[in-house]
Amino acid sequence: MGKKEKYGNYLCTIGYFDIRQKIEMPKVRKMNNGQKQMIPGKVEVFVYHGKKKVAGPFKSHQQAKNAAIELTSR
């Protein structure tokens, strides 16, 4: 398992924090009675300092960027 699978895709750097996102694609599952069930996907955005998760999960990139800016100002 690499860094991409474990922590998510790299987006940007704010100060010394990295913004990373994990994307889970929607899936189609076949049930026992033959019907298909759609499982929705999701996007989670996290703020990391190296390998340590500092904040998250967030629903949007802008919320994560605002949290990273607030953490660097402390």
Position 4 scores a pLDDT of 85
CA distance 74 to 71: 5
Stretches in the chain below the pLDDT threshold 70: none
Distances in whole angstroms, Cα of residue 26 to Cα of each of 39, 47, 58, 71 = 6, 24, 19, 33
pTM: 0.81
Furthest C-alpha separation in the chain = 56
CA distance 66 to 41: 24
Position 36 scores a pLDDT of 94
